[in-house]
Structure 1
Amino acid sequence: MKKTILTSAVLSLFMISCSDDTNSSASMENRSASKDFKLFTTSNTTGRVSVTDLNTSTTSSFTVASTDADGAYYFNDSDEFILASRSNNKIELYYDVSEAVAANAASLSYGTSSTSDFNNAREIAVAGDKIVVTQDQNAANGNTNKLLVYQRTATGISLLNSYTVNFKTWGIHLDGNTLYAVADLTSDLVVFENFFANADGAITATKRVTIEGLVRTHGITYANRSNTMVLSDVGSATSDSDGGLIIIKGFTDVLAETPNMGTIAMKKQIRIYGAATSLGNPVDVAYDNFTKTIYVAERLNGGGKLLTFDLPQTNGNYAPTSSRAEAGVSSVYLLRE
């Protein structure tokens, strides 16, 4: 049975970030027995979504209305999942996810969608009742890069704001009112403080910095409690072996000491690169600070893989701790409650 979409006031009490962590003093036993510890993926090619229960290592796969999707988020309080549809140019919402898993259903139940306000979506980020979608430039959208803000209400998903930006969009992450974004085709990280206070139209970043040694940014996630930033590098779009991951510990301190248009040096980074990594086009990342695990949507190597890595302490050519074929995998979202 379809569940009622909760009001934004209730939502704000329950929402957590895919890279934020709660109960950081919990024992490892409690951490491994988290009530909800799930990983979600979308695909650009299969029209399927996967849901993995990380407590049991059980994966379920479902068809959805979108054959090409980028960006994912799960509302644990209402058991609803959203994705950014690149085939339908809408945010699509699916309900009763847990029931679908329990019933071994073939598909997720379609609930509602936003209006069609974007073309060529690349990522979703959520804070409270606000949903942000990135639009990457292409001919169909007039080569316009956008950040669009929607509000999830009791009656649906409504467009609030539409912003144009002067960089090519891909991954984003929200930490409260601060939006972190990558500038595709560059090695740059862009920061918007007080992001939701902007009026419609062109907006300017608070700060932009270059990540030394990074070729082309795509994936981004930030763990507030451990102050850890994780970025992915896809390198050349045609190579399935030149990708990497960059971890920046003490991130906000590193960012604060780096001037606008300055560079975060390689000595401030921990880097995972090399032939053993299986990283070619790592398009999205999620990070669990409790288990110190990085989850990667690797789009090109082997046709698509979900990779996991232990958080390293030093640079290295590390092999993934696990690898699962996931055709066309385009985004990864982690929930831990």
Structure 2
Amino acid sequence: MTSDTAQLYATTHSGQVRRYDINDGVETNYSVASTDVEGFFFSPEEDAFTIISRSSNRIETYLNIKALGAGGTKDPEMGVVGTSNLESPRDLAVNGQFYVVSDNTDLDGDETTPEGRLFVYIKTESGFVLRNILITKFKVWGLEFIGSDLYAVVDETNKVAVYKNFIESNPNNRIVTADKIVGFQGLIRTHGLDYDKGIMVLSDIGEAESASDGALQIIENFEAKFNNATNGGFIEASDQLRIFGGNTLLGNPVNVVYNANYNVIFVAEALNNGGRVLAFNNATSISGNIAPDLKYDLAGASSVFYFTE
């Protein structure tokens, strides 16, 4: 049974925010202040979406989205914003009033000593208050909350780290050590991750310069498999599904979103054909060189978010 609301939001590095209404094919563009966006969250309770602006290096929220209707280009009202603390933001994870942004800036200018930062903001009625900044011991990219635990992509590797009870355990500025880091056999370089109802989807960009070697890896019963893996160990390829090959149109899948009710993966593909938004149905029962079930051309696609009621 399909929902009356099936909205896929996508952002680009040229500052576009676009919504695809999957049921009827209507596309809506939103004019925002940013000229480079990476990271997106829609709140139906607030009828507002939040983006991470790489051009202004801050969080921005836009209001009254439903009232604007669908189709054409809309000019949403800007709501609360954060100060320009960020340098190279990559992803956004939300847990209640806490908004966490990953930043992959090389702090010491030495590529042999990778580090990243996690900016923890509290959303208030007047703005985004920067609560604290945490320095990670690796270059960070994608973020995802599972309950109170924050999972973070260890960029330039096939690994994912977890910080248990993240918000409460890290109230102050400091260098943080992950509680566990686990690799994924068969994966080259992780960027995006998304979790829903026991299933984690990881994106593999492969070689950054290649427009045809991307992949998706699907892990069912993710928490059990992650917990059973040793710190510094890996989850075997036999415990995952992998979508890869020329038919997939995956080159640099930089961001993903998974919806368990529809068992569909949406992908922000940054490089193939200049950029696309892709979708793969039956996500937990397919693998191999599978063509996408949906594709939209979108130059410089950077992030995706799916909303359904």
* TM-score band, normalised by shorter chain: over 0.9
- The structure 1 residue matched to 2:166, chosen from 192, 195, 206, is 195
**Aligned-pair distance for 1:277?**
0.5
- Where do 5+ consecutive residues of structure 2 fail to align? none
Q: Whole-Å Cα distance in 2 between the matches of residues 104 and 217 of structure 1?
A: 35
The answer for the alignment partner of 1:302 in structure 2 is 273
SS in 1 for 2:223: helix
The answer for the alignment partner of 2:177 in structure 1 is 204
1:216-246: CA deviation from partner (whole Å, max 9, x where unpaired): 00010011x2x00000000011100000000
Q: Whole-Å Cα distance in 2 between the matches of residues 66 and 40 of structure 1?
A: 16
Q: Whole-Å Cα distance in 2 between the matches of residues 151 and 314 of structure 1?
A: 39
> What pairs with 1:306-325 in structure 2 (closer than 5 Å)?
306-310=277-281, 311-325=283-297
The letter for the 2-side match of 1:109 is: E
User: Which structure shows the higher helix fraction?
Assistant: 1
Matched, 1:126 2:94: yes
Q: What percentage of aligned pairs have identical amino acids?
A: 38
- Where do 5+ consecutive residues of structure 1 fail to align? 1-27
**Aligned-pair distance for 1:105?**
4.0
Q: Whole-Å Cα distance in 2 between the matches of residues 236 and 255 of structure 1?
A: 25
**Aligned-pair distance for 1:321?**
0.5
1:92-116: CA deviation from partner (whole Å, max 9, x where unpaired): 1111112233474443322231011
Q: Is the 8 A contact 1:148 1:163 kept in 2?
A: yes
The answer for the alignment partner of 2:26 in structure 1 is 58
The answer for the alignment partner of 2:217 in structure 1 is 246
The letter for the 1-side match of 2:55 is: S
Distance 1:242 1:105, change over 3 A: closer
Q: Whole-Å Cα distance in 2 between the matches of residues 52 and 99 of structure 1?
A: 16
Q: Whole-Å Cα distance in 2 between the matches of residues 49 and 140 of structure 1?
A: 33
SS in 1 for 2:69: helix
The letter for the 2-side match of 1:237 is: A
SS in 2 for 1:74: strand
Q: Is the 8 A contact 2:118 2:134 kept in 1?
A: yes
> What pairs with 1:20-169 in structure 2 (closer than 5 Å)?
28=1, 32-34=2-4, 36-45=5-14, 47-102=15-70, 104-138=72-106, 145-169=116-140
Aligned length: 303
The answer for the alignment partner of 1:278 in structure 2 is 249
Q: Alpha carbon RMSD of aligned pairs, Å?
A: 1.7
Q: Is the 8 A contact 2:27 2:72 kept in 1?
A: no
**Superposition TM-score, scaled by structure 1 size:** 0.86
SS in 1 for 2:303: strand
Q: Whole-Å Cα distance in 2 between the matches of residues 316 and 103 of structure 1?
A: 36
1:265-290: CA deviation from partner (whole Å, max 9, x where unpaired): 10111000101100000000001111
**Aligned-pair distance for 1:312?**
4.4
Distance 1:249 1:82, change over 3 A: same
The letter for the 2-side match of 1:127 is: N
User: Which structure shows the higher strand fraction?
Assistant: 2
Q: Whole-Å Cα distance in 1 between the matches of residues 138 and 76 of structure 2?
A: 35
Q: Is the 8 A contact 2:11 2:304 kept in 1?
A: yes
